[in-house]
Amino acid sequence: MARLEMRRRCTWRIFQSIEYSGEQDHLKLNSFFDYLMKNFTPRSNRDKEFLHRILSEPENLNESRIDRAFAYQSVVVPDSYMGPRLSFPLFPDDAAALLEAFKQKQQLHAHYVLRLFHEARKHLSQLPNINNVSTCYSEEITVCGDLHGQLADLFLIFYKNGLPSPQKAYVFNGDFVDRGKYSMEILIILFVFLLIYPKEVHLNRGNHEDYIVNLRYGLNKEIARKYKEHSGKILKLLQNVFSCLPLATLVDQKVLIVHGGISDTTDLDRLAKIDRRQILSVLTQKRKLTRSFDPVDVESGKSSPKPVDSLNKADISKRVQEELDTCRTRAGSSEYTELRASATSFPTGSDMSLSSNELLASIDDEEIQQVLDILWSDPIPQEGCKVNEDRGGGCYFGPNVTEAFLQKHNLQFIIRSHECKPEGYDICHDRKVITVFSASNYYTVGSNRGAYVKMGRDLIPHFIQYQASKTSRRLTMTQRISRVEVSAYQVLKEKIFAHRSDLTTAFRRYDKKNTGLITLNEWANAVESVLQLGLPWRMLRPQLVLHLTNGKLEYKTWLKDIVTEQRSAVQERLQSSLLENIYRNLSSLETIFNIIDTDHSGLISLEEFHQTWKLFSAHMNIDISDESINDLARSIDFNKDGNIDFNEFIEAFRLVSQST
């Protein structure tokens, strides 16, 4: 049992470390966008407008403008449509019919989706930042954690616990979307029940109810796939819906339910006063206050920021890292400063400037910090509060921070989510912080149970665990751990594969005599120096290093075996270095493509492609001339329709890497 537990913990560390590493990569890319916003000097108004469009935070529209921009009446339901329908006001029978339709893999038409999201936004916008819930009116309150697009888990919760009703209240604690395949279905179900039972169903915002996060983790792609020509309207409306979600729920003034956690500066009174509807994303708020994109006035001799294309790669890399460090400090420290441009530095007139009303409505840094902390933070057993460097956002808070917060606000305990737990829930800080995570099999089949928490009037938490996968339920513990272990090491090998060039360089530093051999300790140190996952590499060695020569590792052979194992038939046709470059940057490439594709059509124009290459070539470490970009754009537009889809976009990076 001890050996099994050790194996389980090792696989868990692998999955969690790689997940948090991906979040760091995403924040690093976002920091690079912030750097471009501050330092890139467009040469023309066209470049200026392009940069503003793809990097500035979207506008949060008022009710009348929402009605005009996303009018569901303009989306016609054809006579041939055989899926579920919604009529407003909604009733319990509508929810039951919708659940049955989703079980049959049917899809709700865009007309009803837009109407539903519009009605949900109107309701949510009227709610306070911190919802107050009483157990006096319901027999019990059920708290669900992250669902992450896993519809089977939501169905199982309703099967085991019952549907929302006047006697059965629910609090869904954020992260409804991303990663899973059914984010839209979960949102639709939750919003339907919210409108039917507005006093019994409560939704908190999570860190994934954020359009910047959605660019990377799947919601954008899912909506584009399911709703095609209407995906742009749905996504833009959803950005505004997410901003209206309450930030926390308070049960009987004694139990705080919040998605991430707290920090040593979290203040409920201050949180209650923030205009949350202005915060479409906590990751891009500072872009609302940036300098003008006016071209350089060479004749005046006035100093101006250096264009990105004139900076060398070392300078770019250094500045991006500085931006990342600033982002981490901002995300985890209560004491930070940030230069803010004055109102006079904005473009005026036709230059797509922010209006004075928007400037007045801007949220200040400390308010953003308050929201960021409750969405992104995690508890730790050590005392104190420090930057959450693993995620790159929020903070780590210790038992003393929890105790001080509870005493200040006269609370008994905190229920939070945000972290996947092997058993679906976890209790820490002297039973004063409860973590509940409702997406079972989150990393792979058998990796974890899901759970939810039930409370009656006595506010004593009761935990219900489940496993949505029938396959996993039939496995013994040994079989389940073995299966999960295989998946974990496969993910880790993919990470090694994507960094094999850097690993080769690191290994050679230890191989002074060029023997091709290094010790296991040197191997472990080199791998950690490159991947920076904080894993116990010597413990993982038996699964990763199968052959030794006189107690040492032949690192060239080891890397060759990793490469051979990872390549598929499609991958083999690419040059090794090209494959590694694309493989390592795939998530960033997809995020960049989604940002440029502002209408969410799945296509970008040749002109946008050209402008994008000039902006981001430094970030991808690829040099290319204007003429080459134009030739490249024409060559990858295979169907010659004047647009480029994502597969063609990826092909561009492959071809450019091949030529350099």
Query: Over the range 196-234, which residues count as b (16 or more CB within 10 Å of their CB) and which as e?
Result: bbeebbbbbbbbbbbbbbbbbbbbbbbbbebbeebbbbb
Distance CA 57, CA 52 (A): 9
Q: Judging by DSSP bridges, how do beta strands 255-258 and 248-251 pair with one another?
A: antiparallel
Structure tokens at 287: 């872009």
**Cβ–Cβ under 8 Å, residues 241 and 124:** yes
Among candidate residues 208, 230, 418, 429, the one labeled active-site is 208
* 536, amino acid identity: P
DSSP state of 294: P
* 75, amino acid identity: V
Q: Which residues contact 403 (CB under 8 A, 6 or more apart)?
A: 429, 430, 432
Distance CA 170, CA 182 (A): 20
Structure tokens at 540: 């993982």
The string of DSSP codes covering 615-640 is: HHTTTTT----HHHHHHHHHHH-TT-
Q: What is the largest CA-CA distance in the chain?
A: 77
Provide the angle, in degrees to the nearest 10, between the axes of the packed helices 92-103 and 183-196.
170
Tell me if residue 547 is catalytic.
Answer: no
Structure tokens at 503: 């690993």
Helix H or strand E encompassing 202: strand 201-203
Distance CA 11, CA 134 (A): 41
Distance, first Cα to last Cα, the chain: 53
Provide the angle, in degrees to the nearest 10, between the axes of the packed helices 576-596 and 45-55.
90
The string of DSSP codes covering 519-565 is: -HHHHHHHHHHHH-----HHHHHHHH----BTTBEEHHHHHHHHHHH
Distance CA 208, CA 228 (A): 22
3-state secondary structure of 306: coil
Structure tokens at 634: 């024409």
- Count the Cβ atoms, other than its own, within 10 Å of residue 139: 13
- The residues pairing with 453 across neighbouring beta strands, listed in sequence order, are 143, 463
Q: If DSSP states are collapsed to H, E and C, what string results for 27-92? A: HHHHHHHHHHHHHCCCCCHHHHHHHHHHHCCCCCCCHHHHHHHCCHHHCCCCCCCCCCCCCCCCCH
Residue 71: how many CA atoms within 13 Å on its side-chain side?
7
3-state secondary structure of 107: coil
Tell me the CA distances in angstroms from 483 to 14, 451, 472, one per residue in order.
Answer: 14, 21, 10
Q: Which residues contact 23 (CB under 8 A, 6 or more apart)?
A: 391, 392, 393
- Count the Cβ atoms, other than its own, within 10 Å of residue 521: 11
Residue 407: how many CA atoms within 13 Å on its side-chain side?
7
Catalytic residues: 208
